[in-house]
Amino acid sequence: MERMTPLLEFCPDEKNIERLSSVGQLKERVQSVQHFATLCHQISHDEKASQDVFIELMDPKSTKKTPKYTLFIVDRPCKSNQKFAAFVVPQGRETDWLFGSNEGRRQLADNAKFQRLLVIHLGRDHQFASLDCVQTELAGIVSSLQPQGLPPNTQIPFLSLGAQVNQRKEIHRGVSDSTGEYVVEEVEEEDDGKPVILRRLIFFSNPNVIQSEARMKNGKVDLKYLACQHHLVMVEELRQNLDMTNHGLKSILVLGLGGGALCTYLHQAYPQFKVDGVEIDPTMVDLARKYFGFKPSENLRPHIADGLSFVQDAAASESRERYGCIMLDVDCKDRSLGISCPPPSFLEPNFIQSVKQCLNPQGIFFMNLVCRDEARRNGVTEMLRESFASVQIKKIKGEASGGRKSSKK
């Protein structure tokens, strides 16, 4: 009727009716349902079509623009009597290698022995009361993703690590020019059966990778605790090296300060050494001070600079500092390269030569290398072998699909 506003209603299933405010919104909803139906059809008819597929589900009732759920479909090539299950990753654990990488999720499906496993990540911008609520909300969608041949109304098991979905506490969120959007958040995990609070810095450009992590003790950062595996390996190697050969070590350079966990730890463990932390993004230095217990002092100095030019300038300078140890822990923002750490410019022979020039004769260089491409990893090892007398490689199981390397001069 003239001047009457049309009523637009959309029924996503038999139980729900949603009222929409515009035809555009209605079209969008219909298209997404069609898209989803096509995808379900493809993956139930062609096993190859489901390889590394993930589906992001938005909450139409929420004002948030980020997915509420991300569903990763993992199909195992071998046949199994257990056909299908969904696995809900507790909040905060999506950064674990087992849940955050394709290889990890395949291993999870192998361990669980289901032919198809849906691995479900819970969006950090949304609230989840319990595992039961997640199961109720997702039941319809999950059953549309079951493999062909399963009778309709089959009871689909929802698995998780416990009865909780865990809670994530956002401490601070912001945006910076070089990093983009980031968050500092706390999650509760178990360590030796005891609950521990871990405070993390996460970049949204790579949300399944923790940039910096600290353990909280009575509401404060525990400065004596290193949470990242590759930091632990670096520090342990350094300790052994100090005992054995590197007696002249007086200063350490850390490229990539982030939340400053490594620098802070080194400073409290070796207060007599000078620790220089180089960070490209000034916001990170502020975050390190505010949220990660980083306290600059005479022997703990932050430098806001590009690590690449910092090292090259230092190498070219007549009065250059000779460090006893250099640790490279810089992330790569370009996800298309298959390398999360460091950016390719830090893997060029001329940069490695500059690193060498900044080290004292017994100096030790650590590189955190996170790279999927095996050929490239081997290329980096070769290049390091050409530059240094001794090179050691330590693979860290459980860190985002990569090994890491340490190389000794």
What residue ranges bind ligand SAM (CB under 6 A)? 179, 211-212, 254-262, 278-281, 284, 306-308, 329-331
Among the listed residues 381, 382, 308, the one whose alpha carbon sits nearest the alpha carbon of residue 350: 308
The distance of closest approach from Cβ of residue 211 to ligand SAM in the complex, given in angstroms and rounded to an integer, is 4
Beta carbon nearer to ligand SAM, 94 or 331: 331
The distance of closest approach from Cβ of residue 285 to ligand SAM in the complex, given in angstroms and rounded to an integer, is 9
The distance of closest approach from Cβ of residue 175 to ligand SAM in the complex, given in angstroms and rounded to an integer, is 13
The distance of closest approach from Cβ of residue 232 to ligand SAM in the complex, given in angstroms and rounded to an integer, is 11
- Packing angle between helix 349-358 and helix 307-316, nearest 10 degrees? 60
Cα–Cα distance for residue pair 375/147, rounded to 1 Å: 35
Residue sitting closest to ligand SAM (CB) = 258
Beta carbon nearer to ligand SAM, 75 or 331: 331
Beta carbon nearer to ligand SAM, 119 or 280: 280
Residue 165, Cβ density class (10 Å: 0-12 exposed, 13-18 middle, ≥19 buried): buried
The distance of closest approach from Cβ of residue 380 to ligand SAM in the complex, given in angstroms and rounded to an integer, is 17
Beta carbon nearer to ligand SAM, 58 or 232: 232
Alpha-carbon separation of residue 373 from 12, 339, 392, 402, 403 (angstroms): 42, 8, 19, 9, 11
Q: How far is CA 147 from the centre of its chain?
A: 30
| 59 φ/ψ sector (left φ>0, alpha ψ -120 to 50, else beta) | beta
Beta carbon nearer to ligand SAM, 184 or 262: 262
Among the listed residues 321, 299, 298, the one whose alpha carbon sits nearest the alpha carbon of residue 311: 321
Beta carbon nearer to ligand SAM, 138 or 280: 280
Which backbone phi and psi does 235 adopt, to 5 degrees? -70, -40
The distance of closest approach from Cβ of residue 137 to ligand SAM in the complex, given in angstroms and rounded to an integer, is 34
Give the DSSP letter of residue 42: H
